[in-house]
A and B are shown apart, each in its own frame.
Chain A
Amino acid sequence: MVSFFYDPFKMGLVIVSLLLSLGLFIVLKKYKQLSFKKKLGIMYAHMFTLIFPFVFFALFQGCQAMFNNCSQLGKILTMLGITALISLVFGVFLGPLIYIKRFEKKSIKTDNAAKHWIHNFVKKHAIKLKIENPQIQILNEAKPQAFSIKYVKSQIFITLGLIDLLNRKEIEAVLLHELGHIKNRSSLYKFSVNLFKLVSPLASFSTFHKELSKEEHLADAFAIHIQKTNKNIISAKRKMNAFFKFSRSVS
């Protein structure tokens, strides 16, 4: 362990990685007008360069048992490759998969006929929007919630509590709101911001909450545009907020 910290090359690598991470965060904070793809790229690069020193250090300890002479550049580069691969597997594949599976476990297994009008409604509007028809998952949960995820395929999750509480027009407004998120690809952005908050200690200095609230407004605007009224989305949100407010007051 001591040899790792006294090796200027390895420590240099760690410091460069952390400085790069800080630099990327500054870019993200300073240039708010960057495109969606660029923002996501920088966000993930920031997280990678932040995690890298820790993974590199942990793997390097294992490397001493694997190789005879770990200080050689070629072997360090091998470690870099392995680190990148592990980060990629966890950050891009396993992370979102675990996130989705957590909700899929709660999904009510039923034939599509039971949720036919929801399916038909979403399908009709997905065709109009020229987006992939999202899969509908109804969660066995009394708290009224709805969200969408786009990972390999698009999915809209709504709870049974939401169906119990809202009328048909309000449920349609919520579904349109989620379709708006899928069209704007904001579910990937929301997932990435949540991952960013989990990984980066600098997250508290970011202004992503403003951007997330902008995404929410855009999704609301989409529902209002299709329904030609803001009545349903407003009353749906009012009911959902009232549920959580009353729930907090009695607990």
Chain B
Amino acid sequence: MKATIKKYESILSPLEIDVLNLLWKKKKAKVRDIFNTLKSNQKVALTSVAVILDRLHEKGIVGREVETARGGLRYIYFPLKDQKQFERSIIESNVDKMITKFGKTATVYFNERFSK
């Protein structure tokens, strides 16, 4: 878990990483499912989990659908990318940023680096 936190900490907050890790494990989950699992390991509020899931949804990292159950309606959250696809998209966006910022210097550098 700690290695994952270090990897993503520049992109996501620690709680966002915890929530995303759980979603990767569970595939699909309700707000309360995530909260119940997290609260056994750390001090966290249900409202914080709801905010984090909404933020991850706004960032396009997780999706959500409305589930109609016997007890009524609820949101079901799920990851839009698996861990590998997510990591790939981070690398892609960082490489794109480098190329936009440094142009030819960056492309020459990447060519030299990867031709070794």
Contact = CB atoms under 8 A, between A and B. Distances in A.
B82 interface: no
Interface string A159-173: 011011100000000
A33 interface: no
B45 A161 contact: no
- Residues of A in contact with B, size category: 20 to 34
Contacts of B48: 242, 246
Interface stretch (B19-27, B68-76, B91-99, B102-110): B68-76
A121 B51 CA distance: 28
Given A164-B31, A164-B32, A117 B50 contact: no
B88 interface: no
Nearest to B74: A164
A140 B64 CA distance: 10
B47 to A, nearest CB: 4
Contacts of A239: 46-47
Contact of A246 (B32, B45, B57, B64): B45
A114 B73 contact: yes
Contacts of A110: 66, 68, 73
Contacts of B53: 142
Given A110-B68, A239-B46, A250-B13, A160 B51 contact: no
Nearest to B16: A250
Contacts of B72: 114-118, 163
Interface residues of B, number: 23
B30 to A, nearest CB: 7
A163 B46 CA distance: 12
B50 A163 contact: no
A235 to B, nearest CB: 11
A142 B13 contact: no
Contacts of A246: 45, 47-48, 51
Interface string A219-251: 000000000000000000001001100110011
10 A-B pairs closest in CB distance: A142-B54, A242-B47, A114-B68, A243-B47, A164-B31, A247-B51, A246-B51, A246-B48, A114-B73, A165-B50
18 contacts: A108-B73, A110-B66, A110-B73, A114-B68, A115-B72, A116-B72, A142-B50, A144-B50, A160-B75, A161-B50, A163-B72, A163-B73, A164-B32, A164-B75, A165-B46, A239-B46, A243-B51, A250-B51
Interface of B: 13, 30-32, 45-48, 50-55, 57, 64, 66, 68, 71-75
Given A142-B53, A164-B75, 17 more contacts: A108-B73, A115-B73, A116-B72, A117-B72, A140-B66, A142-B64, A160-B73, A161-B50, A161-B75, A165-B31, A239-B47, A242-B45, A243-B47, A246-B47, A247-B54, A247-B55, A251-B55
